[in-house]
Amino acid sequence: MLIRSKSSNDLTENHVTDESVYKDRRQLLKKMGFVGAGALLAQSQSQAFSLFGDDDDEKAFEQRALKHTKSTIYTTDEKLTPEFKVTSHNNFYEFGTGKSDPSSNAQQFKVDPWTIKIEGLVEQPVELGYDDLFSAFDLEERIYRLRCVEAWSMVIPWIGFPLSKLLEKAKPLSSAKYVAFDTLYDPKQMPGQRSRFVGGGVQYPYVEGLTVEEAMNPLALMSVGLYGKTLPPQNGAPIRLVVPWKYGFKSIKSVVRIRLVSSEPPTTWKRLASNEYGFYANVNPAVSHPRWSQARERRITTGGLLDRNRIPTLPFNGYADQVAHLYRSLDLRKFY
């Protein structure tokens, strides 16, 4: 098993995330009995490594180039986050809770064959296999901002297709009000699903949800690639959701099932701490997280040690023109 050795490119989490913020999030898990400060965390990471064994001969995951067009609408002039940062500073608790755990632990993740099902309150259930992910829809590159609830952000060139196109194939019934998403459940491949310590105490599979109106918004993207290539496992291969106006935890990775349902589905972080992580989770600088401000964010652009480029956070992560109308009935000074 290949475990990437630390290079100068591999910054530790506290170089790129506000120390107070990541400690605070750990604090929650600690309070809940899942993480026992630094020593235990270090132990959980080495547990993850030893669970995989240490066969150095196994190859790292291979990405391949994807044919795509570039969107002229869904783009930005902002500086892109360097690819090595996008693929080495990740949250994917199925592969460990440290920022570099997913890139270290997910390299043997098998994504082909893959099946994703669209079912529930639909006229025509749909099932796509691995090759369909890259051929059933026109693939487009879109450059989106990603704002994590932990107050760091990136600018990422995703490749994918609108979620609405996928849902339209299944013809949702009028009784469908919400869309529920599941990540793969495969504890053999995902060490975090085998251990509450490695997996941050999350109840697996990781689940997420949107309202049907949100899911049909043209911004909601099913991504199968980034930086011109297929997704690496740590970013949610082979297919993940990207909802750029919401905190990053809504953008669920490695999706195997999408269900149209009539009532609000459970979502992973709300299930863990409903006073801290809401169902809507729209990026909102006016509403602080109970333990830190959401007014500003650290944009990870240079990836360097001095990456302290703090910028104001925008309502709906800068996508208000496209999505604010969905929330006319909500008081945006409140937590949802």
Binding site for ligand MTE (CB under 6 A): 90-94, 146, 148, 183, 206, 235-236, 248-249, 251-254
Residue number, nearest CB to ligand MTE: 248
Strands (E), the chain: 69-70, 115-120, 126-129, 140-147, 152-162, 178-183, 207-211, 221-226, 229-230, 240-242, 255-261, 296-299, 310-312
3-state secondary structure of 225: strand
Measured from the CB atom, is 121 or 280 closer to ligand MTE?
Answer: 280
Min. distance of Cβ 149 from ligand MTE in angstroms? 7
Min. distance of Cβ 239 from ligand MTE in angstroms? 12
Min. distance of Cβ 201 from ligand MTE in angstroms? 12
* Token duo for residue 293: 């401000």
Min. distance of Cβ 147 from ligand MTE in angstroms? 8
Measured from the CB atom, is 106 or 121 closer to ligand MTE?
Answer: 106
Min. distance of Cβ 336 from ligand MTE in angstroms? 17
Measured from the CB atom, is 146 or 221 closer to ligand MTE?
Answer: 146
Measured from the CB atom, is 172 or 277 closer to ligand MTE?
Answer: 277
Measured from the CB atom, is 68 or 246 closer to ligand MTE?
Answer: 246
311-315: which pairs have CB atoms within 8 A and are 24 or more residues apart? 312/285, 313/147, 313/151, 313/153, 313/283, 313/285, 314/283, 314/285, 315/282, 315/283, 315/284, 315/285, 315/286
